Structure 1
Amino acid sequence: MKWEPIETPPGLVPPRPVTVRAQTIPARGYFAEHAHRWHQIVYATSGVLTVAVEGRSFVISPEQAVWLPTGVRHRVGSLLGAQFRSLWVADEAGRDVEDRPTVFAVQPLLRALILEAVALEGAQDDDGYAGRVTALILDQFRRARPLPGALPWPRGGPLVGLCEALYANPADTRGPEEWGRDLGMSERTLARRFETDIGMSLRSWRRRLRLFRAVEPMGGGRSVTETAMQLGYGSTSAFVYAFRTELGSTPQAYMREQISG
């Protein structure tokens, strides 16, 4: 299935100081590479976004948002579709957040503030409430915890199909030899391409993918055991060990933190 470009809305005007835009991105839809004369917060209330910026590409879940400083060229899309929330922030208003593209953790309060800002967009602000909401959003980003990285994603070429297939089915058991054969390259060439394009081995990326995909089913009420089996782990203990090694806590503790903020 081919990726399809999405037209940028006409009549874009600078934010004063924050403009919020809500939009549905269809599966395999994307905004072509562009830049703004203002900062941008890229966030999805549901689904997963693919973000390409500064020569790298990665995906973020609703537990993450990306801060894009003024003038940074970027591309945003979604493999399976997403509810996209874009916050444009005036240059002056966001001057002390970050001066480079940064992935932030989105805690429940920040998520609630973004949803409130969307609901208030375009309404009259006679008592200054909307202004206080947007000020709190910026305060939350100044205090938010930067994440070391999201799930890396190839910018193009044959690895895109491989990553899309594994994203759709994390339990896929095909190894480097089989994937290399499917893609018409040797196992060694595949390993080299993965290291060059994504910065890690296929094995490491698959482990990170499974943990990335774990948050959604657990947030929807699935048990740790059900989630482990869905993602292709041989046992619950193997899943818990991988989760703790990568994220520093057990799945249960991680989800409690997400709920409590």
Structure 2
Amino acid sequence: MQANELILTSSNSQLITKAIHMPAGYIDEFHSHPWHQIVFPLTGLLQSTIDQKSAIVPHNAMLFIPESTVHKSVAVTDTQFLAIYLNPSACVQYGDCPKSCLVTPFIKELILLLFGEGISKLSDVNLTNLLVVLRDQIKIAGSYDIPLLIPADKRLKSIFTQLRQQPNLKLTLKEWSVKVGASERTLSRLCAKEFSQSFSLWRQSVRLVLSLQLLSSTRTIQDIALELGYASDSAYIYAFKKMFNQTPSKYRSDSLAHGLTISALLG
């Protein structure tokens, strides 16, 4: 059942939850919901567009979308995400501005708890208390914006698709221009128009963002660097730190940290 259909049949509920799978390249065109929505990718990468602004939501981040906000989502890679729909007429008052933020271990456990079977056994008061905590955690969480990756132009999109499948491709701009049927000047102009950066910087951004998913595996930093096409792990680490203000190892440890679970606190 579609989310808005579930909402129509759940007017007296404080929230509903839905697990969603989107294969790579799937586009959920512009739409809105009468309730607030939280989008949390368990695996993969989503690109979301709200009010002409697009950003990437990786597996260690979440997106809060206020009620009736028109938005669009594209699966950059094969993506599994959890969606929570929050009743704006219930006791808890949420914000009215979209926000992309890091998911701390605490927020992650809270989201997973709301998806658990035991949630149906909670009283309305206890559920309200949990949602107040969730709202407050989102409010104080730091914003987390990763720039747009997926281009609108079909020639750049062809390059993006090939880089997503094989990020270590070492084709030059001239070779890409022949491959997609556009001049080097045209490709450079399109990158400047869509991403406000050069072709080489956009290509590097694609590789670095794709590496976020690889970092959720047990593969070594060196293996990941080589798969992305970097000559060494030090070159990858330098580029990653410049874009994300932390090393890949720090990102890995922070995003995969389990922390103290809410289940334990309630137990």
| TM-score normalised according to structure 2 size | 0.82
1:112 aligns to what? 109
State the Cα deviation string for residues 146-189 of structure 1 (Å, max 9, x = none).
Answer: 02334432245332222122122211112222222222211111
Identify the residue that residue 84 of structure 2 maps to in structure 1. 87
Shift of 1:121: 8.3
> Does 1:12 find its partner at 2:7?
yes
Identity %, equivalent residues: 24
The one-letter code sitting in structure 1 at the alignment partner of 2:94 is R
Contact 1:57 1:153 in 2 (8 A): no
Partner of 2:43: 46
Please list every run of 5 or more consecutive structure 1 residues that lacks an aligned counterpart in the other structure.
1-5
1:26 aligns with 2:20: no
In the alignment, the residues of structure 2 paired with residue 179 and residue 7 of structure 1 have an alpha-carbon distance, to the nearest angstrom, of 40
Equivalent residue, structure 2, for 1:223: 220
SS at match of 1:31: strand
Q: Is the 8 A contact 2:148 2:195 kept in 1?
A: no
TM-superposed deviation, 1:59: 3.1
| Runs of 4+ residues over 6 Å off in structure 1 | none
Please state how far the C-alpha of 1:229 moved relative to its aligned partner. Answer: 0.9
Q: Verify the 8 A CA contact 2:102 2:143 in the aligned structure 1.
A: yes
CA distance in 1 between counterparts of 2:124 and 2:7 reads 26
Q: Which amino acid aligns with 1:12?
A: I
Q: List gaps (5 residues or longer) in structure 2.
A: 260-267
Asked if 2 retains the 8 angstrom alpha-carbon contact of 1:38 and 1:70, the reply is yes
| 1:90 CA displacement | 3.1
The alignment covers a number of residue pairs equal to: 254
The residue aligned with 2:192 is: 195
1:154 alignment partner, one of 148, 151, 155: 151
- For 1:155 and 1:65, how far apart are their aligned partners in 2? 24
- Alignment partners' CA distance in 2, 1:39 and 1:59: 19
Other-structure match for 2:251 = 254
More helix, by proportion: 2
Moved more, 17-26 or 122-131: 122-131
Sort the Cα spacing of 1:109 and 1:81 in 2 relative to 1 into closer, same or farther, 3 A: same
Task: Please state how far the C-alpha of 1:258 moved relative to its aligned partner.
Answer: 2.6
Q: Distance in 1 between matches of 2:28 and 2:183?
A: 34
Q: TM-score, normalised by structure 1?
A: 0.84
Q: Is the 8 A contact 2:55 2:145 kept in 1?
A: no
Give the Cα–Cα distance (whole angstroms) in 2 for the partners of residues 15 and 161 of structure 1. Answer: 46
CA RMSD between the two structures? 2.7
